[in-house]
Amino acid sequence: MYAELLYGLAHDIDRHGPTRRVLSGHEDDPGPSGLALRLLGSVHRLVLERRAGGLAAYYPSVGGHWNAPHGVPAFVALLDRDRETVRQWLDRPPQTNEVGRATALMGGLLHLPPRLRGPVRLFEIGCSAGLNLLADRFSYVDTTGNRFGADHSPVHLRPAWRGDHLTPWPGLAFAEAVGCDLNPIEVITTEGRLALTAYVWPDQRNRLERLRGALELSRASPPAVRRQGAADFLEQLDLQDGATTVLWHSVMWQYLPTEEQERAAGVIEALGERATDTAPLVHLVLEPTRRKRTRHHEFLA
Ligand SMILES: C[S@@+](CC[C@H](N)C(=O)[O-])C[C@H]1O[C@@H](n2cnc3c(N)ncnc32)[C@H](O)[C@@H]1O
């Protein structure tokens, strides 16, 4: 949907149409700022707020059907009509919290040997809204139909994994779960929930469904998220006797400046050296990595 839409908008820019006027002043924005995603997120939030009129008919996230020949002109007409409203969100960094990544966290936990299966204290750096701090309340099904996690959850991750046979961990519930983010999204606010939903692509139904499920869970128990940089947060982290301290992060390491990466890596290393059989540390990550400079990024968990 977005590919077709963006081709249509590029064409409108070439014709000096409303898209060009909406984006004026942003011509030199750097590529990684994701201007296209800012624009699309801004309009998606208007659709979600029922402020986009007939455009909603083309957005699957609100029950519509994407159809490029009609959807693109409807989008451009909205840009023309609501230029200033759309521009309000062009300076916001697009920010998501991908609940599907909890599969890597839970998959990692289910690899732990019995001696590490004590009470779990979970800590997450760069956790955005902190939705994955609720991972013990999601339900997971692998490709062979084995079920893990919570029984009655609004978040169903299926298929969560294929490959390795994982050992269930009945009764796994985090004794403590705390995260940090430089710019946390507050799920207790309408604005926060709207932002998280607006940056999900409207035709990714499964992704929207799991996000909505996690938002539902977060209403009863909002995740504990500190507004703090990763390295500062890690410096305050301790190990505890009789508990397994789990440090987890996904798709955030690349955003740390080199100096903070080095500081954070040093703290994690030092924590690992202090860990003992009775106060163990587990470090689980899902981060894009290049095995060689010439290779594409891969997600290594
Ligand atoms: C792509 S998002 C990933 C969020 C979440 N981990 C997930 O997988 O859904 C990256 C997150 O890292 C956060 N971030 C960037 N720099 C940071 C820093 N120095 N310390 C802590 N969080 C940071 C951003 O605010 C953003 O929420």
Q: Residue 111 is part of a domain; what is its CATH number?
A: 3.40.50
Tell me the C-alpha distance between 288 and 58, whole Å: 33
Buried b (16+ CB within 10 A) or exposed e, 24-36: eeeeeeeeeeebb
Q: Can you give the pLDDT at residue 266?
A: 98
Binning pLDDT at 50, 70 and 90, where does residue 55 land? very high
Structure token digits, residue 185: 């999204």
Is there a contact between 43 and 78 (Cβ–Cβ < 8 Å)?
Answer: yes
Does residue 207 lie in a domain region? yes
Percent of the chain residues topping a pLDDT of 90 = 92
Distance 252 CA to ligand 1 centre (A): 5
What pTM was estimated for this model as a whole? 0.93
State the amino acid at position 161 in one-letter form: W
Does residue 277 lie in a domain region? yes
Which of 182, 215, 248 for a ligand 1 pocket mutation test, highest count of atoms within 8 Å of Cβ?
182
Of the candidates 28, 57, 87, which is a domain's last residue?
Answer: 87
Distance 137 CA to ligand 1 centre (A): 22
Residue-averaged pLDDT of the chain: 95
Does residue 230 lie in a domain region? yes
Q: Can you give the pLDDT at residue 108?
A: 95
137 and 261 housed in the same domain: yes
83 and 103 housed in the same domain: no
Handedness of CA 44, 48, 50, 53 (dihedral sign): positive
Helix (H) or strand (E) segment spanning residue 297 = none
Which of 33, 157, 181, 253 for a ligand 1 pocket mutation test, highest count of atoms within 8 Å of Cβ?
181
Does residue 168 lie in a domain region? yes
CA-based nearest residue to 116, from 277, 235, 224: 277
Of the candidates 87, 119, 144, which is a domain's last residue?
Answer: 87
Tell me the C-alpha distance between 256 and 231, whole Å: 9
Does residue 92 lie in a domain region? no
Which residues form the domain of 72? 2-87
Binning pLDDT at 50, 70 and 90, where does residue 301 land? low
pLDDT in tens, 26-48: 999 998 899 999 999 999 999 99
182 and 81 housed in the same domain: no
pLDDT in tens, 217-237: 999 999 999 999 999 999 999
Whether residue 263 is predicted with pLDDT greater than 90 in this model: the reply is yes
166 and 121 housed in the same domain: yes
Instruction: For the chain, give the number of residues.
Output: 301
Q: Can you give the pLDDT at residue 297?
A: 74
33 and 159 housed in the same domain: no
Lowest mean pLDDT among 23-27, 221-225, 291-295: 291-295
Of the candidates 64, 87, 110, which is a domain's last residue?
Answer: 87
Which of 252, 254, 260 for a ligand 1 pocket mutation test, highest count of atoms within 8 Å of Cβ?
252
How are beta strands 120-125 and 139-141 bridged, if at all? Answer: unpaired
Tell me the C-alpha distance between 151 and 286, whole Å: 25
Measuring from each residue's beta carbon to the nearest atom of ligand 1, which residues come in under 6 Å? 95-98, 101, 125-128, 180-183, 229-230, 250-252, 255-256, 260
Is there a contact between 289 and 298 (Cβ–Cβ < 8 Å)?
Answer: yes
265 and 118 housed in the same domain: yes
| DSSP-assigned letter for residue 94 | P
- How many Cα atoms are found within 13 Å in the side-chain-facing hemisphere of 132? 31
Does residue 49 lie in a domain region? yes
Tell me the C-alpha distance between 140 and 213, whole Å: 13
Section 50-71 average pLDDT: 97
Binning pLDDT at 50, 70 and 90, where does residue 129 land? very high
Binning pLDDT at 50, 70 and 90, where does residue 294 land? confident
Binning pLDDT at 50, 70 and 90, where does residue 295 land? confident
* C-alpha R_g of the chain: 21
201 and 77 housed in the same domain: no
Token pair 């969100």 in the structure block, residue: 89
Q: Can you give the pLDDT at residue 87?
A: 98
223 and 283 housed in the same domain: yes
State the amino acid at position 11 in one-letter form: H
Number of domains in the chain: 2
Is there a contact between 95 and 195 (Cβ–Cβ < 8 Å)?
Answer: yes
Structure token digits, residue 95: 């920010």
Section 189-215 average pLDDT: 97
Is there a contact between 272 and 283 (Cβ–Cβ < 8 Å)?
Answer: yes
153 and 211 housed in the same domain: yes
Whether residue 82 is predicted with pLDDT greater than 80 in this model: the reply is yes
Q: Beta-carbon neighbour count of residue 196 at 10 Å?
A: 23
288/74: higher pLDDT: 74
Whether residue 209 is predicted with pLDDT greater than 90 in this model: the reply is yes
141 and 17 housed in the same domain: no
Does residue 93 lie in a domain region? no
236 and 159 housed in the same domain: yes
Distance 256 CA to ligand 1 centre (A): 9
Section 48-69 average pLDDT: 97
Tell me the C-alpha distance between 289 and 301, whole Å: 10
Does residue 94 lie in a domain region? no
Structure token digits, residue 93: 């960094």
126 and 253 housed in the same domain: yes
